[in-house]
Structure 1
Amino acid sequence: MPTARIFQRPKNAMQSGRYRTDRWQLEFEPTEAKQPDPLTGWAGSGDTRDQVRLGFPTQEAAIAYCERQGWGYSLVPTPSKTLKLQAYADNFR
């Protein structure tokens, strides 16, 4: 039985906006370790579920999908968002 990890997508570090950070994502836990390919040296495994990522509008929708499929799941809590309020004049103190 596959185990899925459900989490809320973090903000992209390369952008200032919060596009799609309200969506929830489902990824599968790896079932086998990655090993280097003898020809190229790239890391890989026979586990194809590592490539699957599903998006959901709410946490409840992701949980309901896992339960419908009969999969186990673990919820990763969303880190709290802290705002650092700073005025431009603080740079010259």
Structure 2
Amino acid sequence: MSVRIYRPAKSATQSGTARSKVWLLVFDPASPRSTDPLMGWTSSGDMNSQVRLRFTTKEEAIAYAEKNGLDYRVEEPKLAPRKILSYSDNFKSTRAGPWTH
């Protein structure tokens, strides 16, 4: 059984970083999902697809996977450098970009 260890990205709809500070261990699907012919719902017999384990550090998640004999892959977070600007920077005389309003 294989798992994926990753750190989720910050939510695009919120300015906070509440759920992006933990590492998640998620099981890969063991079987493909099937569609119910009557209702059209998708279902799966794989119960591990519902399990999401949270860890405070990457090392704890790796230790858990190794202890339980799970094949794992670690996906490092892609952190873009944030350029801190203030509202007054929009009106500077040394502004490099063109005015759009």
TM-score in terms of structure 1 length? 0.87
Gap runs ≥5 in structure 2: 92-98
SS state of the match for residue 65, structure 1?
Answer: helix
AA at the equivalent of 1:51: Q
* Residue 14 (structure 1) shift: 1.9
Aligned match of 1:79: 78
- The answer to whether the aligner puts 1:57 opposite 2:56 as a matched pair is yes
SS state of the match for residue 83, structure 1?
Answer: coil
Tell me, in whole angstroms, the C-alpha distance in 2 between the residues paired with 1:58 and 1:72: 18
Tell me, in whole angstroms, the C-alpha distance in 2 between the residues paired with 1:28 and 1:3: 6
Aligned match of 1:88: 87
Gap runs ≥5 in structure 1: none
Tell me, in whole angstroms, the C-alpha distance in 2 between the residues paired with 1:20 and 1:33: 28
After the TM superposition, which segments of 4 or more aligned residues of structure 1 sit over 6 Å from their partners? none
What are the Cα deviations for residues 49-83 of structure 1, in whole angstroms up to 9, with x where unaligned?
A: 11000000000000000011011100011102321
Aligned match of 2:17: 18
Tell me, in whole angstroms, the C-alpha distance in 2 between the residues paired with 1:42 and 1:20: 29
AA at the equivalent of 1:71: L
Q: Percent identity?
A: 40
